Structure 1
Amino acid sequence: MSLSGLRASTIALVSATMVAVSPLAAEPVGLRGYNAAIGDSSISGISSGAFMAVQFGTAWSSVIKGVGVVAGGPFWCAKADADDFMNGYTLPIMHATGSCMVGPPRDMDDYLAKADAKAASGDIDPLQNLARQKIYLFHGTNDAVVARSVTDAAADFYRHYLGDAGRGNLYYQTAIGAGHSLVVLQQPAGNRLNDCKDNAPPYIDQCGYDQAGVILQHIYGALNPPNRGQLGGAMQRFDQSLYTKGREAGALSLGENGYVFVPKACEDGGACRVHIALHGCKQDAGEIGRRFIDDTGYNAWADTNHLIVLYPQTKASSYLPFNPQACWDWWSYVDHADSYVTKSGAQIAAIKAMLDTLTAGAAAPATPAPGDGTPRGLTIVDTSDTSAALAWTAQGGAMTYRVQRAGPDGAFVTVGDVKGPSFGDSGLAPQSTYRWRVAAVVGGVEGPPSGEVAAITRATPAPCDNPGSCPIGK
């Protein structure tokens, strides 16, 4: 779809990885509670879903520990405010389809001031919470829908609140030749997904890149390998109108039904976590069926790692609210007020009600068994041309991890301390070999280092002024 076509209505945005289709309940019902601590929840999204993920993760930063942003922008990007609607409804949509898509975005100070004001008023959680969130960002070099400068602005928004101490919590991948899409591994011939460069429905591109796995491991640390075969868990359909505070789901541009994948271990009462996966425009179940839900790779990772995946759904509407491409509300098309970025925003409140229900059965957390102080399973989850995403298995009692890197000279130096079992290392040279090791810091004492891992950074993509025809790279 052309940018002019997007502008004329709203936005086209997206998601991706093929897994076996799981069973689906015959009749939609309400969600049930599981043994899942709400503070271990996370969220990710593609395009309009990415904008919503940023909004939700910022509004509810007290319970969201990680955010995945694929082709999205900063908090309050469309700048929909009360004054905008006093002067007509055209301004927010022009921001959304203008500076928030083709770029450049507006002054960062505006977005930061809005977030600070909403936190000061209590409409969103304290922004200090953002310093502990794990943030994954992605922009494909063939993305012809959302400009690189927009996702750069999202990275700058998070860097502001992370500060120097939290810089290892952010990882930004910009060296893959994907179009506007959520990116997956190569699929068997005949699959209905796209080639890597594509900027078209279903906005799931095959680039040999397991984006769902990278997102989840940057947030949660090293995970068990995904289940690429028949899934043991079940896909359940549920009635979204139960979570809209008495309003009809359609009045919020939400679909009648949402979906949730529940691993058997979670169904049986095991301790689990919830990840919310948000589709993009023209990617809802009414438009592309269950391809976002079944083919993006989240379920394969969830099945082996005690992860419940919630898939809320929007719905296209050509009247009121005007949302003909089933985008998430990131320019205030529902209630025409700036509450859309806050806890009271209609769609944010509905998603939070779903999350509250799923986590209602959480048991008191068990005290983790102390290990020997040595982080296990250190792995390189991903590399860009200038960054690397590291993950390892959490150690009981370890509050901080110290990351060390060795360059070509072979000497290890400390590059940062981080809370949580992942680290986004940055400032690397393209096509260069590095080694890393990690040590747990307990009570101020650094323990023995992990085993070493090595990786070669990717090449920097060649300049290209025509996304969609740029080299894919390796």
Structure 2
Amino acid sequence: MDPVALRRMAIAAAAFGCAAIVAGPALTEERLTGFNADIRESSVSGISSGAFMAVQFATAWSSVIKGVGVVAGGPYWCAKADADDFLNGYMLPIMNATGPCMSGPPPELGSSFAKADAKAASGDIDPLQFVSRQKVYLFHGYNDAVVAKSVTDAAADFYRHYLGEPNRGNLFYQTTIGAGHSLVIAQEPHKPGLNECAANAVPYIDQCGYDQAGIILQHIYGALNAPNRGPLTGALWQFDQAVYTKPRHPGLLSLGNTGYVFVPKECEDGAACRVHIALHGCKQDSGSIGRRFVDDTGYNAWADTNHLIVLYPQTESSSFAPFNPQACWDWWSYVNHEDSYVTKSGPQIKAIKAMLDALTARATPAAAPAPAPAVAPASLKVIDTSDSSVDLAWSPQAGMTAYRISRAAADGQFVVVAEVAGPSFGDSNLKPASAYRWRISAIVNGVEGPASEEVAATTRAVPAPCAHPGSCPIVK
């Protein structure tokens, strides 16, 4: 995550060409077990290089990825790596990756749109119409001294382009938390070995009183049961990643030998479940920080009570070919120096997809819900607020055609502002430090049901300008 050091090392290199556990050390199982998990209910999130990879994976496999969480990451094909770049000394991708794709401003988005459109047209990625239905969460901490806000702004604009105005509420973008470059947690009391909120340092897990894992999962799936803050009832499994990189050794893809997966007890017993893929960032692999990303980022606590399987693939560092000294995910084509790295055939994307296929291998088709009149949606709640947006989530109802969102000012009349297909809505373009109310109703075949109970929230204030991220005052 040190862009200067990474660039110097890259330039120098270019010149030369199951056993289950609840806690404690994991035991190795060669293959992942298949569960009753519908692959079309899968999702992915990532931090830093994991965020860039999450965007690539979710775009390539948008037909099966329901939602994506992007924490301190940028748009699709930001590094602009092509085969010709390797022939010309492979300088452009690494310079883009460690330059404008981190410090900003990022390369213009026209090239990202053109690349995505071309790869969709050729069948190398799924049709982009599937991106328009994805739930998208983006995050930039205003103390992030590694990835500039303009880079994550570009990721937001990439998604807005494909979501279009009808689906604008699928996206929520949080920029008012004072986190450094990190995945953010709500640990109380603070845990030794993890960082204070404004830090930009290993292990890149900052304690800001902000439950990022829970917000990501609820933005994707709707209101969930409260997380298990006590001993988990599910189990952590350790598996051999070589099974999913064959015929190549994991090290040739800069992937570690061992990956992890958390499985709730109900999923192990055959209940219908879903899979979320959590991608660590540079220097967050198990070889660098042990199991901190797996154990301390909060995903498992939410998964334990919500029938969610969490897959934690792992990279590893390499000082030779492939050159990846900080164990980053391949978002600038360091593995094969071709533009396939952003497609289904990208070596790391293929490996992750093989893991996902294995976990979902025993899915049982669910019966179509019987037609029923719409009822008032339950569990409507505010899961996050920024200075200009509020993120709402509620419990999904089987058989619903859409949900209608109505908003009112603190003392005003309700007005319909949107309709969405899934159980969350990012309401944007709101006034800072202002109070609002919301209610929703379900629609079945054009017939609107009764409204939910109201929820209220006040948007945050606009963060004060700060020229030196990492030292900006944190406003609660």
**More displaced 10-residue stretch of structure 1: 360-369 or 380-389:** 360-369
Which residue number corresponds to residue 199 of structure 2?
Answer: 198
Counterpart CA distance in 2 for 1:451 and 1:190 is 37
Aligned pair in 2 of structure 1 residues 224, 9: CA closer, same or farther (>3 Å)? farther
CA distance in 1, matches of 2:428, 2:458: 13
5 Å-filtered alignment, 1:43-62, equals 43-62=44-63
Check 1:63–1:190 CA distance in 2 against 1; reply closer, same or farther (3 A cut): closer
Q: Give the whole-Å Cα distance in 1 for the aligned partners of 2:103 and 2:419.
A: 36
Higher mean displacement: 348-357 or 82-91: 82-91
For residues 10-409 of structure 1, the aligned pairs below 5 Å read 22=23, 25-368=26-369, 370=372, 372-409=374-411
Q: Distance in 1 between matches of 2:86 and 2:157?
A: 28
| Separation in 2, partners of 1:9, 1:382 | 40
- Alpha-carbon separation, structure 1, partners of 2:124 and 2:303: 32
Residue type at the aligned position of 2:417: V
User: Given the alignment of the two structures, is residue 469 of structure 1 paired with residue 471 of structure 2, yes or no?
Assistant: yes
TM-score in terms of structure 2 length: 0.96
From the superposition, tell whether residues 303 and 155 of structure 1 become closer, same or farther in structure 2 (CA, over 3 Å).
same
Contact 1:21 1:294 (8 Å CA) reproduced: no
Report the CA distance between 1:121 and its aligned residue: 0.5
Q: Which runs of 5+ in 2 are unaligned?
A: 11-20
| Residues 1:442 and 2:444 aligned together | yes
Q: State the distance in 2 between where 1:257 and 1:118 align.
A: 31
Over 4 Å off, 4+ runs: 369-372
Counterpart secondary structure, 2:287: helix
What is the alpha-carbon distance in structure 2 between the residues aligned to residue 120 and residue 221 of structure 1?
A: 32
| 2:68/2:136 contact within 8 Å kept | yes
- What's the CA shift for 1:107? 1.1
State the 1:119 CA deviation.
0.3
Partner of 2:18: none
Structure 1 residues 402-424: Cα deviation after superposition (integer angstroms, max 9, x where no partner): 00111134211111100010000
By how many angstroms is 1:189 displaced? 4.6
Which has the higher relative contact order, 1 or 2, with Cα contacts under 8 A spaced 6 or more apart? 1
Q: Deviations over 1:235-274 (max 9, x none)?
A: 0000000001310000000000000000000000000000
Shift of 1:187: 3.5
> In structure 2, what is the Cα distance between the partners aligned to 1:81 and 1:35?
39
CA distance 1:301–1:190, shift in 2 (3 Å): closer
Q: How many residues align?
A: 465
Distance 1:52 1:2, change over 3 A: closer
Report the AA paired with residue 4 of structure 1. Answer: V
Superimposed CA distance per residue, residues 277-313 of structure 1 (whole angstroms, 9 cap, x where no aligned partner)? 0000000000000000000000000000000000000
TM-score normalised over the length of structure 1 = 0.96
- Aligned-pair distance for 1:2? 5.0
C-alpha root-mean-square deviation of aligned residues, in Å? 1.4
Q: Which moved more, 1:45-54 or 1:427-436?
A: 427-436
Contact kept? 1:79, 1:95, Cα under 8 Å: yes
Give 1:472 deviation, angstroms.
1.2
CA–CA separation in structure 1 for the residues paired with 2:57 and 2:207 = 28
Q: Residue 364 of structure 1 aligns to a residue in which SS? A: coil
Identity %: 71
- Distance (Å, rounded) in 1 between the aligned partners of 2:114 and 2:2: 33
Q: Is the 8 A contact 2:4 2:98 kept in 1?
A: no
Pairwise CA distance, 1:32: 1.0
Give deviations 1:54-94, integer Å, cap 9, x for gaps. 00000000000000000000000000011111101121100
